Amino acid sequence: MTTPLTLSFGSDHGGLALRRELMAALKAKGYTILDRGTETSASCDYPDYAQAVAADVNAGRARFGILVCTTGIGISIAANKVEGIRAALVNNVDAAELSRRHNDANVLCFGAKYVDAPLALACTEAFLKAQFEGGRHENRVAKIEPKK
């Protein structure tokens, strides 16, 4: 028996509906879901949710994170400020797959204004199936990590 892959989700008010739809679809496919909110449509701050999901990924509570805000821009910037996180804002399946294969992304970001639930699910499935290729990409990824 294999352990189901755990995914951590977060969104602000602008990504609430898409986050809920995507979580439900992935839970139905057998994924374990950590829901870091928000739970209402009241205005809230996307960095709080980006940081909560990033903490799950960095601590190993989740293998990957998925974040949603209205455009995806703010929440992806916030996530990328957390050491160890490589968040990719995508709006098509090819970019989602390549973000894993070439960039070893560990957080997937969506803009609810630009991506509907079926497309977000297709992107997420491509992201989760893809494997980091290493090789020439490994050196490039190493260059974006903070210097110690």
Would you state the pLDDT for residue 111? 98
pTM higher than 0.85: yes
Q: Please give the single-letter amino acid code of residue 128.
A: L
Would you state the pLDDT for residue 133? 83
Would you state the pLDDT for residue 3? 63
Would you state the pLDDT for residue 67? 98
CA 21, CA 132: separation in Å to the nearest integer?
27
Q: Domain locations in the chain?
A: 6-144
Mean pLDDT by 10 residues, the chain (148 residues): 82 98 97 97 97 98 98 98 97 98 97 98 98 88 79
CA 16, CA 22: separation in Å to the nearest integer?
10
Would you please indicate which residues are annotated as catalytic (active-site) residues? 69, 102
Helix axis angle, 117-129 to 93-101, nearest 10°: 20
Would you state the pLDDT for residue 135? 83
Alpha-carbon torsion angle 129, 74, 77, 9, nearest 10: -40
- Give the residues across from 108 on adjacent strands: 66, 88
Would you state the pLDDT for residue 1? 39
Q: Which fold has domain 6-144?
A: Ribose 5-phosphate Isomerase B; Chain: A, (3.40.1400)
Would you state the pLDDT for residue 148? 64
With b meaning 16 or more CB within 10 Å and e meaning fewer, what string describes 76-109?
A: bbbbbebeebbbbbbbeeebbbbbbbbbbbbbbb
Residue 134 DSSP code = -
Would you state the pLDDT for residue 2? 56
**Tokens encoding 1:** 């028996």
Would you state the pLDDT for residue 136? 86
